[in-house]
Structure 1
Amino acid sequence: MNKRATIADVASRAGVSRSAVSKVLRNAYGISEQMRAGVELAMAELNYRPQIAARGLRGRTYTLGVVMPDLRNPFFPDILDGVWSALGGTQYQPLMAVRHAADETEQALMEMMLDRKLDGFVLIAPMVSRDYLWRLATTVPVVMLGRHETGGDFDTVNNDDEQGAFLAVCHLIEQGHRRIAFFSFEPPEDGAVNPVVYRQRGYIRAMQAHGLDNFLQICKTRSGGSDDEDRQLAHSVLTAPSRPTAIFAWHDTVAINVLAEAQELSLRVPRDLAVVGYDNFHISALPQLQLTSVDQDAHTLGAMAAELLIERIEGRTEPVHHTTQPTLVVRGSSLTSAAASP
């Protein structure tokens, strides 16, 4: 097995000192382009890769931790695309981790990544406790997406979830619907910062703004519910004596499960039931679905989070909390000429 090249090997090949190689690695001031080119050529010829731990002892590792809830949600890869695009042309590289539902799993992942001397974290919809999160942000730069929290030493990037829900429900009302149900879930501990709470506020605000307080119907599964739970909830709601004529789901996956159950019950969409989701998955535009959905622009969210994190790493100390504006993408699942009367 070939020995891994060291910084001394690179210096010898390039004909420079080890401190000069270190300066190139750190992108330090005062290195000529000729010397930089020679060192980079030597590193390429030797297949030299700096050890992260060693780089961490000298300063930055140029490695960012990205922690996400799961890989099955089509929304998260779009966020990652935004992160990667923002890191293009920089020295920073993302190291990704996927948690399971348990808070302890997510915290253990973060601790493991901290041991590798990461420069900062992008946390996507983190579920760790408020106390842990606030402590973490005092030791390493942190940017969060999908958690409406302020006050700590961290940055956040969020969609205006309340306004997105308001747009969705107003659209259904404009289509003639009155009995509009909101499909939600019970948020975990620290649930007040969860996007679903803000979307519920938007649903209620839209219904009240149109004098539909008597038709408020909030239907919930447990936190982290499964597709089967979504289908069971949809079945019970859609077979009730006075079923809603429209359902606004907090998430596209839930909306797709509602569409599946409606088909099972021989309900025609959108004539018998209009459905709107949230997140605007790519598959929502498929002809078989044509799901109306609220678009958060996941790419922009990811890019903005990465940019804010680099700013933090490079010296900014004041917290930044950025909110993007949603748009409603109207498709066939909600366009109905005449909704059933109350």
Structure 2
Amino acid sequence: MSVATASLVLNGKGSISTQVRQRVLASASDLGYLKNIHAATTASRKSRHVAVLVDESYEKAFEWHLVRSILIPLEATITAQMYYPILIPVTRLQTAQQIMEKVVMSGAGALFSIHFGDRDLFTLLEDRGIPVVILNHNRAAQQFYSVTDDFIYGTFKATCHMLARGHRRILFVDYDRPDLQGVVFDRKAGFEKAVAELDEPLEQWSMTVPDIESNDDIERVARSIAEICGHGPLGATVHDDYLAAKLYAVLQKLGVSIPEECSIVSPGDTMDYSLPFVPPITTYRTDFELMGTLAGQMLLRRVAGESRTVESLKVQHVLKERGSVRDLTGGNHHARGCY
């Protein structure tokens, strides 16, 4: 039995079977364990510093624009109450114990984790009296305080946008994300939900890029897309705009016109569109500024002892039209959509 499971039972959290729960409680009773209900605010009262975990893995570098969009309002919210952030870079190769030691050495009394999820780590921190708030990582959202993106809804809305523009030859493209399998599942579920709600015959395809950092893998998928486009206009919902930007560039090199031959829409907004080399991709953008503000307010409630029940908030999406979706309806956008 894992440390995380035992802690969830003792803290009254998570969906744990009755049998496992009884085993944990029996063991705790035998050991004379007594839960300190004030532990979650003990450490935070002693420090005005708040750790912010940021994944520094090479393949995560493209997410820095996203992280920055969250950090600015988050910092503004907590510094207004005289709490100060400390950035702590981490990687998926580090153990929960190693990262916890970094946090403890920093002197932080509370912690934000942005787009980085480790339930064992969060359990260790909470049990040590360091309250945690998770941002934009759904895997641990039901067990810990969190403010996240609604990954299903974002892909659903992006696909509905494509369908409402008259596209009936549609494609979903994702990529392998071993650390975020829940996101991959939710993105695909959102696409399938939009298709099911339309309830109309469609030509549809699904493709996966094994390694998003492999030019060969990107080109292989782009060539398959180009072949489909040769038989009529195609609408592609892409996992995120990082992958969409890569496909956009290769498709243009292959002579595919966007959006005339291939329309592209994506949930999320990880790219910095002020940069001249980033292609204009229509997205359903997560309100990361709101996410940062809500997370800051949530942590302030925790350190003040005002919240005793796990809170989980989801931030919705806003359409950012950048011209990568062709309108096939003649302007009658909502005639046959799934809104």
Q: Normalised by the shorter chain, which TM-score bucket?
A: 0.7 to 0.9
The whole-number CA distance in structure 1 between the counterparts of 2:200 and 2:249 is 27
With over 3 angstroms needed to count, the CA separation of the structure-2 counterparts of 1:115 and 1:184, relative to structure 1, is same
The whole-number CA distance in structure 1 between the counterparts of 2:308 and 2:84 is 22
- In structure 2, the residue matched to 1:159 is 149
Instruction: Say whether residues 1:234 and 2:225 are aligned partners.
Output: no
- In structure 2, the residue matched to 1:4 is none
- In structure 1, the residue matched to 2:249 is 260
- In structure 2, the residue matched to 1:334 is 325
| Cα offsets for 1:205-226 (capped at 9, x unmatched) | 0012123676443322347x31
Which residue identity does 2:147 align to in structure 1? V
| Cα offsets for 1:103-135 (capped at 9, x unmatched) | 42676334312233311111112142x334333
Q: 1:138 aligns with which of 127, 133, 136?
A: 127
With over 3 angstroms needed to count, the CA separation of the structure-2 counterparts of 1:309 and 1:250, relative to structure 1, is same
- 1:207 and 1:213 in contact (8 A); partners too: no
- In structure 2, the residue matched to 1:209 is 197
Give the paired residue count: 278
- 2:226 and 2:251 in contact (8 A); partners too: no
| Cα offsets for 1:128-147 (capped at 9, x unmatched) | 2x334333333321111122
- 1:169 and 1:203 in contact (8 A); partners too: yes
The whole-number CA distance in structure 1 between the counterparts of 2:43 and 2:313 is 33
Q: Secondary structure at the match of 1:289?
A: coil
The whole-number CA distance in structure 1 between the counterparts of 2:285 and 2:314 is 14
Which residue identity does 1:268 align to in structure 2? S
Shift of 1:317: 2.1
With over 3 angstroms needed to count, the CA separation of the structure-2 counterparts of 1:58 and 1:248, relative to structure 1, is closer
The whole-number CA distance in structure 1 between the counterparts of 2:322 and 2:45 is 51
- In structure 1, the residue matched to 2:106 is 116
Which residue identity does 1:188 align to in structure 2? P
- In structure 2, the residue matched to 1:273 is 262
- 1:285 and 1:291 in contact (8 A); partners too: no
Q: Secondary structure at the match of 1:72?
A: helix
Q: 1:75 aligns with which of 41, 66, 74?
A: 66
Unaligned 5+ runs, structure 2: 1-41, 331-339
With over 3 angstroms needed to count, the CA separation of the structure-2 counterparts of 1:246 and 1:227, relative to structure 1, is farther
The whole-number CA distance in structure 2 between the counterparts of 1:58 and 1:205 is 42
The Cα RMSD (Å) is: 2.9
| Cα offsets for 1:199-242 (capped at 9, x unmatched) | 2211110012123676443322347x316266235324324457
Question: TM-score if structure 2 supplies the norm length?
Answer: 0.72
Larger Rg: 1
Which region of structure 1 is more displaced relative to structure 2, 198-207 or 329-338?
329-338
Q: Secondary structure at the match of 2:52?
A: strand
Shift of 1:99: 2.8
Instruction: Say whether residues 1:291 and 2:277 are aligned partners.
Output: no
Unaligned 5+ runs, structure 1: 1-55
- In structure 2, the residue matched to 1:62 is 48
- 2:154 and 2:190 in contact (8 A); partners too: yes
Instruction: Say whether residues 1:91 and 2:82 are aligned partners.
Output: yes
Identity %, equivalent residues: 21
Which residue identity does 1:289 align to in structure 2? P
Which residue identity does 1:320 align to in structure 2? E
Q: Following TM superposition, where does structure 1 have runs of at least 4 consecutive aligned residues deviating by more than 4 angstroms?
A: 56-59, 241-244, 285-288
Q: Secondary structure at the match of 1:276?
A: strand
The whole-number CA distance in structure 1 between the counterparts of 2:268 and 2:161 is 16
Question: TM-score if structure 1 supplies the norm length?
Answer: 0.72
Q: Secondary structure at the match of 1:104?
A: coil
Which residue identity does 2:70 align to in structure 1? I
| Cα offsets for 1:48-92 (capped at 9, x unmatched) | xxxxxxxx9995221111112245322111011121121232211
